[in-house]
């Protein structure tokens, strides 16, 4: 062996000469090598050598036979091998990230066909990832949404540039408008041509609606502050302005941006600035609210104006002062302004206390620093009994833990958070659902020192949504599945039966002489006959069977994992129970209440529910023409 080999494996030639090859490559199949060389001149493969210290080396090995000797020529490919392992691991990590990222990630070709989708996008359509590949947006989304997506796709392919856009997703099956924030970028091949695009979309439908509501709320608050007949301002610990309301801006004849970052010596004449600074420094030092009269000298006329100023230090959770909030009211016309201020304060309190929502502020330790009257009433506690308490002390540990998930997001990411939160009413004990919008309150160094929350009771909306979903899929008269929902369930059961090779049967039935019942006894009796037919069917069905009313007096029954023999027996049982059934109309009992049945089973050629329904309908027609009150089947 040459020195390069010895150096690589960390052994000397004295340690290797005379040793069997298995000493270095204990896992090598020497019989395979000899058999290969017997049929060929060269054996090629990769061999792993594991050094005594545990380090692995990989060699690309060529072995040739020269008489009774074998010549081994090896190239160290350890680096390439490790790089290959890293690439495989990176690909696995990337796939895991893409499948767990809270966004829809995908790629498409120029035909608009999906060539990759992550798990979240596949789950959106209740499909597996492989089932989405090859489909286009027109196969998966409403037509209007697909057109919107395609327009941005064309821009990527035609202009070779990344597109960032809000895309209209149309209405979903519950009638909710969907909107996606999408980024789509071109992917070039080796020739520099764009043959695919890579995209990521985030569903921001709820976020947009709630951000508009939060923005409107913030605008109202700003409007209140800007219309107060007092100077409202905030200064940092260096006594530089970080906020000034409209009143102060007008007095200084400057806009808010120009005031921010300046101190009193930059804005007022020295005598005024010294007086302001003295009060501010006292508030910083004592960490106490300071209330006193301050004077301001007009630089032009040298006239004095008098202000009753309140300086409030704003504290962090650790008790350190991070800002000073100041409210300075012109008391030259004290009585008028006091009345105005009191009116404004009452208005603000009335607005907050009459809002049909919980308004509250919590600091970073999840301790309430403010709650409005609506929240006090909900909890059955006074303001003082709530403020200073934590969520755990008020709601209990389990509820507090749920609340803290969104609270933590607000504090950590300094961004708004919207969520549905659940708690129990203190008096009724009933579960209530609230749409909670939480926004961070940021201090002068950019940290969230508190959050403000607005929680609106959406318990009734939640109930109505559930009812709407039920109404959208349920026949009002009978409570059975309506035609549209029955066809949806039928399509899913057909897919499942074909995928797993299970039986699937369908029964169609029609109440005999239903028009005669309506004409003779009235529509109320006809409705009772339909409800009775529904109950007779349900009494003979399993929980897994699907019953639907698909016409006036026409029903369909889907029987998963049931062959024609089983379906025939069920149909006969329902038919016999119907024949034996009689109900009181108020004008006497209806006897001879019968129904006709047609049944069929799933065939390999069936593509959609209509194929099953058509055959069952033909069988039902045969039952009608053969005298009614019977079961007929059609199997091809």
- Identify the pLDDT of residue 6: 77
> Do 239 and 328 have their domain in common?
yes
Evaluate whether 106 touches 98 at the Cβ level (below 8 Å).
Answer: no
What is the Cα–Cα distance from 610 to 348, expressed in whole angstroms?
Answer: 62
Q: Is 92 part of any domain?
A: no
19 inside domain: yes
Answer yes or no: do 137 and 284 share one domain.
Answer: no
Assess whether 310 and 217 both reside in one domain.
yes
Once rounded to an integer, what is the mean pLDDT over residues 1-19? Answer: 78
- Does the structure show a pLDDT above 60 at 336? no
Q: What's the CATH number where 132 sits? A: 3.30.450.20
Would the pLDDT of 590 be above 70? no
Of the pLDDT bands very low, low, confident and very high (cuts 50, 70, 90), residue 353 is confident
Q: Residues 19-36: pLDDT tens digits? A: 787 777 776 777 777 778
Structure confidence at residue 361 as a pLDDT band (50, 70, 90): very high
CA neighbor of 184 nearest in space, from 204, 208, 201, 203: 201
- Please write the tens of the pLDDT for every residue from 312-333: 999 998 999 999 999 988 997 7
Please indicate, yes or no, whether the overall pTM of this predicted structure exceeds 0.85. Answer: no
Provide the Cα torsion 512, 516, 522, 523; round to 10°.
40
Are residues 540 and 417 located together in one domain of the fold? Answer: no
Instruction: Give the residue with greater pLDDT, 175 vs 367.
Output: 367
Beta bridge partners of 509: 555, 597
Q: Same domain for 344 and 252?
A: yes
- Count of positions (residues) in the chain: 636
Residue 469: Cβ within 10 Å count? 12
Q: Write out pLDDT tens, residues 109-159.
A: 999 999 999 988 888 888 998 999 999 999 999 998 999 899 999 999 999
pLDDT of 587 reads: 64
Partners of 108 in beta bridges: 114, 197
Do 195 and 258 sit in the same domain of this protein? no
- Judged by DSSP in three states, 130 sits in helix
Mark whether 113 and 8 lie in a shared domain: no
Q: Are residues 239 and 183 in the same domain?
A: no
CA 536 to CA 438: how far, in whole Å? 52
d(CA 546, CA 533): 15
- The answer to whether 620 and 510 are in contact (CB under 8 A) is yes
Strands (E), 406-511: 417-424, 431-442, 448-457, 504-511
Do 398 and 502 fall within a single domain?
Answer: no
Is 124 among the domain residues? yes
In this prediction, residue 57 carries a pLDDT of 77
Which residue segment(s) compose the domain that 588 sits in? 474-633
* Proportion of the chain above pLDDT 70, given as a percent: 91
Q: Which long-range CB contacts under 8 A does 425-432 form with residues at least 24 apart?
A: 425/378, 426/378, 426/379, 426/380, 426/381, 427/380, 431/459, 432/378, 432/457, 432/459
Domain boundary among 301, 331, 350: 350
Q: Is residue 469 part of a domain?
A: no
Q: Is residue 95 part of a domain?
A: no
The reply to whether 499 and 628 lie within a common domain is: yes
Q: Are strands 554-560 and 504-511 parallel, antiparallel or unpaired?
A: antiparallel
Confidence class of residue 335 from pLDDT cuts 50, 70 and 90? very low
Order of strands, sheet of 595-601, starting from the edge strand that comes earlier in the sequence? 546-549, 554-560, 504-511, 595-601, 631-633
Question: Are 533 and 625 members of one domain?
Answer: yes
- When the pLDDT of each residue in the chain is averaged and rounded to a whole number, the result is 86
- Total structural domains within the chain: 5
- Asked whether residue 90 is assigned to any structural domain, the reply reads no
């Amino acid at each position: 062996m040459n020195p390069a080999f010895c150096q690589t494996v960390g052994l000397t030639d004295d340690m290797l000469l005379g040793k069997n090859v298995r000493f270095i490559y204990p896992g090598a199949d020497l019989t395979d090598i000899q058999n290969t060389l017997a049929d060929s001149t060269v054996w090629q493969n990769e061999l792993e050598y594991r050094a005594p210290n545990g380090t692995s080396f990989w060699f690309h090995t060529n072995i040739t036979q020269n008489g009774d000797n074998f010549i081994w020529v090896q190239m160290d490919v350890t680096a390439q091998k490790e790089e290959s392992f890293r690439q495989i691991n990176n690909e696995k990590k990337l796939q895991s990230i893409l499948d767990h990222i809270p966004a829809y990630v995908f790629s498409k070709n120029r035909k608009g066909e999906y060539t990759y989708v992550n798990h979240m996008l596949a789950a959106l359509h209740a499909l597996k990832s492989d089932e989405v590949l090859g489909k286009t947006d027109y196969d998966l989304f409403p037509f209007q949404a697909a057109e919107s997506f395609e327009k941005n796709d064309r821009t990527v392919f035609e202009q070779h540039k990344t597109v960032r856009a809000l895309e209209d997703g149309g209405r979903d099956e519950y009638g909710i408008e969907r909107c996606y924030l999408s980024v789509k970028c071109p992917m070039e091949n080796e020739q520099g041509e764009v043959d695919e695009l890579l995209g990521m979309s985030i569903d921001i439908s709820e976020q947009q609606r709630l951000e508009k509501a939060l923005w409107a709320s913030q605008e109202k608050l700003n409007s209140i502050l800007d219309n107060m007949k007092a100077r409202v301002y905030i200064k940092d610990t260096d006594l530089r302005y970080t906020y000034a309301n409209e009143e102060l801006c007008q007095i200084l004849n400057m806009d808010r941006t120009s005031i921010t970052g300046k101190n009193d010596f930059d804005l007022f004449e020295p005598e005024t600035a010294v007086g302001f600074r003295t009060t501010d420094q006292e508030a910083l030092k004592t960490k106490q609210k300071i209330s006193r009269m301050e004077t301001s000298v007009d630089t032009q006329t040298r006239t004095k104006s008098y202000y009753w100023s309140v300086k409030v230090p704003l504290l962090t959770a650790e008790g350190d002062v991070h800002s000073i909030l100041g409210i300075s009211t012109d008391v030259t016309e004290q009585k008028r302004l006091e009345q105005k201020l009191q009116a404004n304060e009452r208005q603000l309190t009335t607005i907050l206390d009459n809002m049909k929502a919980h308004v509250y502020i919590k600091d970073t330790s999840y301790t309430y620093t403010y709650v409005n009257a609506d929240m006090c009433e909900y909890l059955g506690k006074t303001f003082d009994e709530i403020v200073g308490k934590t969520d755990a002390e008020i709601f209990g540990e389990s509820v507090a833990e749920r609340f803290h998930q969104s609270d933590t997001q607000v504090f950590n990411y300094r961004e708004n958070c919207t969520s549905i939160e659940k708690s129990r009413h203190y008096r009724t004990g009933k579960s209530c659902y609230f749409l909670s919008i939480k926004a961070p309150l940021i201090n002068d160094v950019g940290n969230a020192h508190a959050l403000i929350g607005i929680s609106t009771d959406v318990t009734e909306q939640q109930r109505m949504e559930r009812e709407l979903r039920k109404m959208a899929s349920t026949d009002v008269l009978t409570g059975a599945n309506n035609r549209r929902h029955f066809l949806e369930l039928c399509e899913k059961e057909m897919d499942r039966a074909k995928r797993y090779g299970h039986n699937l049967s369908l029964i169609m039935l029609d109440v005999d002489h239903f028009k005669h019942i309506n004409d003779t006894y009235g529509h109320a009796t006809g409705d009772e006959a339909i409800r009775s037919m529904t109950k007779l069917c349900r009494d003979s069905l399993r929980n897994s069977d699907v019953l639907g009313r698909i016409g006036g007096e026409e029903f369909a029954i889907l029987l998963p994992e049931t062959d024609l023999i089983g379906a025939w027996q069920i149909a006969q049982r329902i038919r016999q129970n119907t024949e034996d059934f009689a109900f009181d109309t108020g004008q006497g009992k209806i006897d001879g209440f019968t129904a006709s049945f047609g049944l069929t089973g799933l065939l390999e050629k069936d593509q959609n529910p209509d194929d099953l329904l058509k055959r069952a309908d033909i069988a039902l027609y045969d039952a009608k023409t053969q005298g009614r009150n019977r079961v007929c089947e059609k199997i091809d």
